[in-house]
Structure 1
Amino acid sequence: MPNVSDLFGDLARSLGFLSRFPISSRFFEGHDGSVSRAVRVFPLAGLVIALPAALLLWLLLEWKADPLLAALIALGAVTLSTGALHEDGLADTADGLGGGRDREHILSVMKDSRTGSYGVIALILSYGLRATALASLAGPSAALPALALLSAAGGSRALMVGHWRALPPARHGGIAVAAGRPEADASTFALASAALICLLLLVSVAGLLPLLFATALAALGVFGLTRHAAQRIGGHTGDTIGASQQVGEIVFLLALALAV
């Protein structure tokens, strides 16, 4: 059984890694910067990161705001919390895999700070599809889209850990290498806890079958990205890790909106 104090420390370091939330420096003193074990609480960190946005979404819908407007405002709030960390990875991955000729060229494009056409289109689709899915879920109740946003935030970060664990680093350096490879037990804990979180949050308002459908398609989407990254660049980068979170979240929300 994990130690509660260790879990809390891992959560603080995870939030420092995944968000712009102010985290006390005491959690990083004497720490080597690795998140190999801390990834086990990435789903919980996702919940904490998305909680302000989910509450905002619920309030706006309760105040009868237009569902699409409310969804876009909520996604904007999440972006402020993360500093567009995962969106940046999605854009760079889309540019690299979309326009790169070979492995070295793909990695070079990903490292370029400029955003190309593939990246811009990926970001438009990311926000557009997620906002539309959340808005469509607002029909039955204001709680459903808010809980869906929380579930997607937790579940997608577990799938991100799965992508990270499944592939070796494509580069010798970089943030992903410095952060360390997720431990096997930590990865299993992340996936299991994310499944429990989604079950507890959504099964009563969305139903078990729609939840299973959305979870399976999200996992399949991240699996597809993982296979493609393995074939094209032979591993993961910090960008593909971020892209896997985005793919998982987008597919989960879309599938849930279609199934409910």
Structure 2
Amino acid sequence: MFDIRDFIDDLARSVAFLSRIHMPQRHFVNFDGRLSRAVRAFPLAGLLIVLPAAAIVSVFSALNVSPLFTAFAAVAVHALITGALHEDGLSDTADGLGGGRTREKALVIMKDSRIGSYGAVALILSFGLRVSALSAVLPLVSPTGAGLLVLAAAALSRTAMVWHWSKLPPARHDGVAASAGEPQASAVTFALISGVVSSAILLLLSGASLPATVLAIAAFAVTVPAFSQIVDGKIGGHTGDTIGATQQLTEIAVFAALALAI
């Protein structure tokens, strides 16, 4: 049976896990740190976390601020609120997959806090592709629609994290992802359905065409399995870093799809 109080607790725990936002302590009573059920709230948590960035996009677009500056500001605010958590995951994953010739070496590199050339290039491409794609889309929709597009990408990219997390076993048993537990099957199903449906609704409300909406969701549907297969072949499972990288890659793919289709 669906209990709204349990879901609110899951939402608060998801927001705290995915960002620097402090949530009321009452939501963490008897909480052991495992997110097996809480992952069902990831799509909605993504919406809440990205609300400030979406608001900036809408306000700046209404004021006719440069689309490029608007996109940069939105991505910067998003990174500040999350503490660049997902960017860190992308960087570490790129270094590990790019520089590690063996599974063991890749995992050692990914655990190293220092950034390498693969990680630096990945970050440059991530920021560049997201900003350029978003700035290309902003002039084609209304200010309100622009904010809704950002929210849709946020929901889909957090849904992607749950999907990737559930598709692979932990690559190591002492990492952040392993300590957070394996997602429950019912929670994964809830996240996938709610994330895709809410994103589709937001995209259509934004003024995006039906083909653009379908292409954005297709980009999500292709990116996650493809990346998961690469990760599985290289290190045999997920880590906290690869989960974060999935968010980044999906957001890039969704914004790129919209830039091509709207």
Is the pair's TM-score, using the shorter chain for normalization, greater than 0.5? yes
The residue that corresponds to 2:250 in the other structure is 248
Deviation at 1:56, TM superposition (A): 0.8
AA partner of residue 184 (structure 1)? A
1:22 matches 2:8? no
The equivalent of 2:119 in structure 1 is 119
Letter of the aligned partner of 1:50 in structure 2? V
Q: 1:76-132, CA deviations, whole angstroms, 9 ceiling, x for partnerless residues?
A: 111111001111000000001011111000000000000011111111111111111
- d(CA) in 1 for partners of 2:249, 2:145: 21
For the Cα contact (< 8 Å) 1:54–1:150, is it kept in 2? yes
Q: Is the 8 A contact 1:137 1:144 kept in 2?
A: no
Once the two structures are TM-superposed, the CA of residue 215 in structure 1 deviates from its matched residue by: 1.0
Contact 1:135 1:145 in 2 (8 A): no
Whether contact under 8 Å (2:93, 2:242) holds in the other structure is: yes
Q: Give the residue type in structure 1 aligned to 2:146.
A: P
What is the distance in 2 between the residues matched to 1:239 and 1:43? Answer: 19
Q: Which of 230, 234, 245 in structure 1 is aligned with 2:232?
A: 230
Secondary structure class of the residue paired with 1:171: coil
Give, in angstroms, the shift of residue 142 of structure 1.
Answer: 2.2
Aligned residue among 200, 208, 211 for 2:210: 208
The 5 A counterparts of 1:96-245 are 96-140=96-140, 141-204=142-205, 205-245=207-247
Alignment check: 8 A CA contact 2:212 2:261 kept: yes
Aligned-partner residue type, residue 129 of structure 1: L
Code of the residue aligned with 1:209 in structure 2: it is: P
Q: How big is the shift at 1:3? A: 1.3
Deviation, structure 1 residue 218? 2.0
Flag structure 2 segments of 5+ consecutive residues without an equivalent: none
> How many angstroms does 1:145 deviate by?
2.7
Whole-Å Cα distance in 2 between the matches of residues 133 and 143 of structure 1?
18
Q: Is the 8 A contact 2:41 2:191 kept in 1?
A: yes
Question: How far off its partner does 1:9 sit?
Answer: 0.7
| Residue correspondence of structure 1 range 74-93 to structure 2 within 5 A | 74-93=74-93
The one-letter amino acid of 1:142's match is: P
**TM-score, normalization: structure 2?**
0.97
Cα distance, 1:143 vs structure 2 = 2.7
Q: Structure 2: which amino acid aligns with 1:241?
A: I
User: Which residue identity lines up with residue 246 of structure 1 in the other structure?
Assistant: Q
Residue 44 (1) aligns with residue 44 (2)? yes
Q: Structure 2: how far apart are the matches of 1:148 and 1:90?
A: 22
Q: Are the aligned partners of 1:129 and 1:250 in contact in 2 as well (CA < 8 Å)?
A: yes
SS in 2 for 1:65: coil
- 2:12 matched to which residue of 1? 12
Residue identity matched to 2:143: A
CA distance in 1, matches of 2:146, 2:130: 11
- Distance in 2 (alpha carbons) for counterparts of 1:188 and 1:92: 28
Question: How large is the Cα RMSD of the aligned pairs?
Answer: 1.0
Gaps of 5+ in 1: none
CA distance in 1, matches of 2:173, 2:4: 34
How far apart in 2 are the matches of 1:192 and 1:155?
10
- Following superposition, the deviation at residue 221 of structure 1 comes to 1.3
Deviation (angstroms), 1:256: 1.1
Q: For the residues of structure 2 that align with 1:18 and 1:30, how far apart are their CA atoms? A: 20
CA drift at 1:149: 1.0
- Say whether the 8 Å CA contact 1:36–1:186 is kept in structure 2: yes
Secondary structure at the residue paired with 2:138?
coil
| Structure 2 counterpart of 1:166, one-letter code | K
